[in-house]
Amino acid sequence: MNKAQLVEAIADKLGGRQNAADAVDAVLDAIVRAVVTGDRVSVTGFGSFEKVDRPARYARNPQTGERVRVKKTSVPRFRAGQGFKDLVSGSKKLPRGGEVAVKKAPKGSLQVGTAAKKAAAKKATAKKAAAKKTTAKKTTAKKAAAKKTTAKKTTAKKTTAKKTAAKKTTAKKATAKKAPAKKATAKKAPAKKATARKTAKKTAARR
């Protein structure tokens, strides 16, 4: 059965072919628009229409057997309701009147987008939580790196100060050692003068 045949099948019940065509178009348009926007259309006893995301994957070309990468995509999916399944499987019989293939849905059973909206809200919450965790980790890592850098700089300054102090101490010791040497030289100088005087006296006596 195609669309034209479907319209003919319900034309008598809707007061003419034009009314039936308008009704079919309106129903299909509402379902398509809802599914495209990510909503789920569910009719109790008949089934549900929804949008399903397929991740990127690898498949094989049936003709060549070559492995081909398939991009991420979204496809529509229809899941038959239990009443529809029972009628198709034969566990339940179609009513003789042929007016209703499945039981009439109770009031409020036509749901559009409730499950999809809840799922989208859950995904958004999960993404926000993940983003917060990632930001917290990055901040902690930056703080740890900053502390390490500060600690290294402090250690380097202390080491430099120690080296400077050691150099000053060494210079002081060297200066202290040189000072006694100068004093000893000064003492030796008078001793030489005294020896020279004694030698001069002896020479004078001999003459």
What pLDDT is stored for residue 139 in this prediction? 67
Q: Above 70 in pLDDT, residue 62?
A: yes
Is the model more confident about 181 or about 40? 40
Q: Most distant CA pair in the chain: distance in Å?
A: 173
Q: Please check whether residue 13 lies inside any domain of the structure.
A: yes
Q: Please check whether residue 26 lies inside any domain of the structure.
A: yes
What pLDDT is stored for residue 109 in this prediction? 47
CATH number of the domain to which 83 belongs: 4.10.520.10
Q: Please check whether residue 25 lies inside any domain of the structure.
A: yes
- Dihedral sign from CA coordinates of 70, 72, 78, 82: positive
Q: Which two tokens stand for residue 145?
A: 């790196």
Q: Please check whether residue 122 lies inside any domain of the structure.
A: no
Confidence band (pLDDT; 50, 70, 90) for 187? Answer: low
φ, ψ dihedrals at 91, nearest 5°: -70, -20
Question: 65-103 pLDDT, tens per residue?
Answer: 899 999 999 999 999 999 999 999 988 888 776 555 555
Q: Please check whether residue 97 lies inside any domain of the structure.
A: yes
Domain extent, residue 102, equals 3-54+72-117
Is the model more confident about 14 or about 143? 14
**Kindly report the CA angle at 150 between 145 and 152, in degrees rounded to 5?**
95
CA 113 to chain centre: 28
Query: What is the tally of structural domains in the chain?
Result: 1
What pLDDT is stored for residue 133 in this prediction? 72
Q: Please check whether residue 166 lies inside any domain of the structure.
A: no
Question: 157-166 pLDDT, tens per residue?
Answer: 777 777 777 7
Rg (the chain; Cα; Å): 51
- Rounded to an integer, the average pLDDT of 44-56 is 93
Q: Please check whether residue 85 lies inside any domain of the structure.
A: yes
